């Protein structure tokens, strides 16, 4: 299993909307960056993703699971980009802020810090565990 981080502006698609999508999940679409799109293509069914509210909040707010691997993004008229379908798994009772992530020296190599504009990024096992633990403090 691989771990990922998916960014969404909460006024466009929030964790609450993801929860309401229920068991059928919702497409993670609208990605127009080639590196982020390649990350979507590398996702496998069952992979877990942090759900990150960008711009407003700047915090990891929960976890979603990939339930359908990449397919053509219906919102892309060019036919170049893909989407995956994700299903809500859990919401953090205490979101993990970008500020707190930056303060943790063990997370200094995260793409979230080094490539802050990337909307879909891999997360290594160690960082996944650290951020999960930070949500419980």
d(CA 46, CA 28): 15
pLDDT (0 to 100) of residue 116: 85
Task: List alpha helices for the chain, DSSP H.
Answer: 15-20, 34-42, 98-103, 111-114, 125-134
Over 90: is that where the pLDDT of 137 sits? no
- pTM summary value: 0.96
* pLDDT range class, residue 84, cuts 50, 70, 90: very high
In tens, the pLDDT along 42-75 reads 999 999 999 999 998 999 999 999 999 999 999 9
pLDDT (0 to 100) of residue 13: 97
**Average pLDDT for residues 18-37, to the nearest whole number?**
97
How many CB atoms within 10 Å of residue 110?
Answer: 22
Instruction: Return the CATH number of 3-134, one of 3.30.390.50, 3.30.70.980, 3.10.590.10, 3.40.50.150.
Output: 3.10.590.10
CB under 8 A, 24+ apart: contacts of 121-130:
121/4, 121/5, 121/36, 121/39, 122/2, 122/3, 122/4, 122/5, 122/39, 122/42, 123/3, 123/4, 123/5, 123/50, 124/3, 125/3, 127/3, 128/3, 128/48, 128/50, 130/104, 130/106
* pLDDT range class, residue 99, cuts 50, 70, 90: very high
Q: Where are the beta strands (DSSP E) in 54-118?
A: 59-72, 82-97
Over 90: is that where the pLDDT of 131 sits? yes
Q: For the chain, what are the domain ranges?
A: 3-134
């Amino acid at each position: 299993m691989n771990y990922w981080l998916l960014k969404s502006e909460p006024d466009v698609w929030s964790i609450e909307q993801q929860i309401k999508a229920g068991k059928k999940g919702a497409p993670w679409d609208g990605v127009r960056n080639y590196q982020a799109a390649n990350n979507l293509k590398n996702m496998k069914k069952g992979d877990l993703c942090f759900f990150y509210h960008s711009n407003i909040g700047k915090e990891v707010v929960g976890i979603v699971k990939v339930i359908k691997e990449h397919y053509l993004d219906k919102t892309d008229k060019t036919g170049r980009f893909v989407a995956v379908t994700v299903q809500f798994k859990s919401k953090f009772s205490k979101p993990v802020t970008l500020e707190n992530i930056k303060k943790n020296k063990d997370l200094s190599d995260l793409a979230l810090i080094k490539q802050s504009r990337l909307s879909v990024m891999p997360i290594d096992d160690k960082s996944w565990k650290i951020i999960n633990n930070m949500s419980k403090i």
